[in-house]
Amino acid sequence: MSEKLPHPFIVKTFVITRKVRHWLVGTTVISLLKLASLFPADPAINAVEWLARRIGPKTSRHRLALYNLALAFPEKSAEEHERIARDMWGNMARLGVEYVFLDKIFDLNLDNPSEGRVEVDGVEIFAKLTEEKKPFIVFTAHTGNFELLPIGAAAYGLEVTALFRPPNNPYIARHVLSARRTHMGHLVPSRAGAAIALARKLDDGGGVGMLVDQKFQRGAKSTFFGHTVQTNPLLGKLARQFNCDVYPARCIRLPGGRFRLQIEPAIEVPRAEDGRVDVPATCQLLNDKVEAWVREYPGQWQWFHDRWAIKHKVK
């Protein structure tokens, strides 16, 4: 016997309710960002962080963050998990409001990359990629203010086409996308056709940037902090198709509202016996690199993300 479908009125009510909720949340967030823009950068960013450290722990996402932290760091105490989660809320709040002040906080001095708010570790690699003019892939994770990485690359004359996943809220997504397009060059939304767009970029000898620490329903099975996850195989497939170098890069949030953009030497991509890139092994290598980053600065990663697909277990 077939399942009984929901009444059309119920479906329509659900859709309308979701749209209203998205509008309310989106309008509130965008209004707060516009209000913050009326104040000097540092006081506004610090104030929003202060609020987030107090409001974040009252949300359901905080419970998911604590669950994830216990999964990743069973050796740490509940107090340590709580501290890391509050640091995460502070980092996420700063990330959100920093969109408003990108022109003010990104003060990279190309002649002296170690001074100012933004410093760079790996200048010689940026220079090498700019001069070589051959395809490459840069991967990163949701750590620190990861949005500064493509801006940093552009400062060195390096054009990178970035794959990104828009926020679920369409109003916030449009606002964020507008800011990203203004400051971050070419963007490819993570949806059907994204792989083709990135492949064309590499085929033209360009660079591609990817975030690799998100849940992917049809991904390759691998582990993260010793637990099974599914990882998007796209990076490995592109590396196999174009036989291009793959570089890890991250943004580290430093004290005093400062940042370090770090690009590392190309990784040695795992290969199968036939010499082709081993995609599942590459997925695991990416997870291992991100895990090392997160262990170093645990409060700068998004613990409320359902990376292990266990949200249904959190009450």
Q: Is the pLDDT of residue 158 over 50?
A: yes
Residue percentage of the chain with pLDDT more than 90 = 57
Q: Tell me: do 87 and 139 sit in the same domain.
A: no
Q: Tell me: do 36 and 176 sit in the same domain.
A: no
Q: Which two tokens stand for residue 229?
A: 């996850």
Least confident residue range of 90-94, 150-154, 261-265: 150-154
* Number of separate domains in the chain: 2
Q: Tell me: do 74 and 145 sit in the same domain.
A: no
Q: Is the pLDDT of residue 266 over 70?
A: yes
Q: Tell me: do 88 and 113 sit in the same domain.
A: no
* Length, in residues, of the chain: 315
Residue type, 26: G
State which residues form the domain around 17. 8-101
User: Does residue 304 form part of some domain?
Assistant: no
Q: What is the rounded average pLDDT of the residues 117-140?
A: 92
pLDDT of amino acid 187? 63
pLDDT band for 39, please (50, 70, 90 cuts): confident
User: Does residue 313 form part of some domain?
Assistant: no
Q: Tell me: do 248 and 233 sit in the same domain.
A: yes
User: Does residue 307 form part of some domain?
Assistant: no
Residue ending a domain, among 101, 125, 157, is 101
DSSP the chain: -PPPPPPHHHHHHHHHHHHHHHHHHHHHHHHHHHHHTTS-HHHHHHHHHHHHHHHGGGSHHHHHHHHHHHHH-TTS-HHHHHHHHHHHHHHHHHHHHHTTTHHHH----TT-TTSSSEEEE-HHHHHHHHHH---EEEEE-SBSSTTHHHHHHHHTT--EEEEE---SSHHHHHHHHHHHHHHS--EEESSTTHHHHHHHHHHTT-EEEEE--S--TT-EEEEETTEEEEE--HHHHHHHHH--EEEEEEEEEETTTEEEEEEPPPP---B-TTSSB-HHHHHHHHHHHHHHHHHHSGGGB-TTS-TTS-GGG--
pLDDT of amino acid 59? 92
Q: Tell me: do 96 and 113 sit in the same domain.
A: no
Q: Is the pLDDT of residue 216 over 90?
A: no
pLDDT of amino acid 118? 92
Q: Tell me: do 181 and 158 sit in the same domain.
A: yes
pLDDT of amino acid 1? 45
- At 71-112, the pLDDT tens digits run 999 999 999 999 999 999 999 999 988 988 887 888 887 877
User: Does residue 119 form part of some domain?
Assistant: yes
pLDDT of amino acid 44? 92
User: Does residue 223 form part of some domain?
Assistant: yes
pLDDT of amino acid 180? 54
Range among 80-84, 132-136, 217-221 with highest mean pLDDT value = 80-84
pLDDT of amino acid 87? 98
Q: What is the rounded average pLDDT of the residues 11-19?
A: 61
pLDDT of amino acid 103? 78
Q: Tell me: do 173 and 94 sit in the same domain.
A: no
Q: Is the pLDDT of residue 305 over 80?
A: yes
User: Does residue 144 form part of some domain?
Assistant: yes
Residue 313: how many CA atoms within 13 Å on its side-chain side?
Answer: 9
Q: Tell me: do 277 and 219 sit in the same domain.
A: yes
Strands 220-224 and 207-211: unpaired
Q: Are 105 and 257 in contact (CB under 8 A)?
A: yes
In whole angstroms, give the CA distance from residue 15 to residue 236.
37
Q: Are 145 and 95 in contact (CB under 8 A)?
A: yes
pLDDT band for 170, please (50, 70, 90 cuts): low
pLDDT of amino acid 221? 93
φ, ψ for residue 159, nearest 5 deg: -90, 120
Q: Is the pLDDT of residue 315 over 70?
A: no
User: Does residue 3 form part of some domain?
Assistant: no
